[in-house]
Amino acid sequence: MILELLFIFFARIIDVSLGTIRMILVIRGDRLPAAIIGFFEILVYTLALGMVVGSLNDPIKLVVFCTGFALGVLVGSVIEEKLALGFRGIQVTVDREHAYIVDELREEGFPVTCWEAHGKVGPKLIMNIIVKRNMAGIVADKIYEKDPAAFVIFMEPKHFRGGYIKKK
């Protein structure tokens, strides 16, 4: 009985974690890896569900099944965050006086496209930066160090072509 409950619990953690990663891949357009992960996700899910469906009068199995699902959501999101798949678009708005940030980021190898704009309280500089996802927080931190009042927006680009991307 204990081994069966443990199997149900861990199977749900695994299948929901796989489902989280699969959905991210689908959104990014990576169909083949998503389909392969989906195969294993549904295999594990079906095995766990099979152990619970015949025992719906056993509340312990149902609670274990549901708890595994909830924990799977957490574990899947942590795994996805650690994998940091894909790229992040970063749009930054700073006061014109902070234009030196563009040069400093470029010197560090970050691809920065910029243009001038006019905000409510004067001239602004808009920066557009595309980086690997694991670098997005680092870039934002560098910007906030130089201008704590910077307005930073993170975007999730699905497709792009051309341009320059920092490799590391």
Listing DSSP states for 103-130 in one string gives HHHHHTT--EEEEEEEETTEEEEEEEEE
- Strand ranges across the sheet with 122-132: 112-119, 122-132, 87-95, 151-155
Give me the number of domains the chain comprises. Answer: 2
| Co-location of 127 and 113 in the same domain | yes
Tens digit of pLDDT for each residue in 142-163?
A: 999 999 999 999 998 877 777 7
| Co-location of 95 and 78 in the same domain | no
Tens digit of pLDDT for each residue in 91-113?
A: 999 999 999 999 999 999 999 99
Integer CA distances (angstroms), 58 to 10, 38, 43, 61, 143, in order:
18, 29, 23, 6, 55
| Co-location of 57 and 122 in the same domain | no
Backbone dihedral region for residue 88 (phi beyond 0: left; psi -120 to 50: alpha; all else: beta): beta
| Co-location of 109 and 141 in the same domain | yes
| Co-location of 72 and 91 in the same domain | no
Which domain covers residue 146, as residue numbers? Answer: 87-155
Cα 9 to Cα 59: distance, rounded to the nearest angstrom: 14
The more confident residue out of 168 and 62 is 62
Single residue among 51, 83, 115 that ends a domain in this structure: 83
Asked if residue 76 is part of any domain, the answer here is: yes
Beta bridge partners of 113: 128
Single residue among 59, 83, 107 that ends a domain in this structure: 83
Q: What percent of the chain clears pLDDT 90, i.e. is strictly above it?
A: 73
> Cα-flanking dihedrals φ and ψ of residue 140, to 5°?
-60, -40
**Model pTM above 0.75:** no
| Co-location of 21 and 71 in the same domain | yes
Asked if residue 163 is part of any domain, the answer here is: no
| Co-location of 112 and 134 in the same domain | yes
Which pLDDT value is given to residue 168? Answer: 61
| Co-location of 140 and 115 in the same domain | yes
| Co-location of 35 and 47 in the same domain | yes
Cα 80 to Cα 24: distance, rounded to the nearest angstrom: 8
Q: What is the mean pLDDT of residues 49-74?
A: 92
| Co-location of 105 and 121 in the same domain | yes
Asked if residue 160 is part of any domain, the answer here is: no
Listing DSSP states for 47-110 in one string gives HHHHHHHTTTT-HHHHHHHHHHHHHHHHHHHHHHHHHT-SEEEEEEEEEGGGTHHHHHHHHTT-
Single residue among 49, 83, 117 that ends a domain in this structure: 83
Assess contact for 61 and 52: CB atoms under 8 A.
yes
Mean pLDDT, the chain, integer = 91
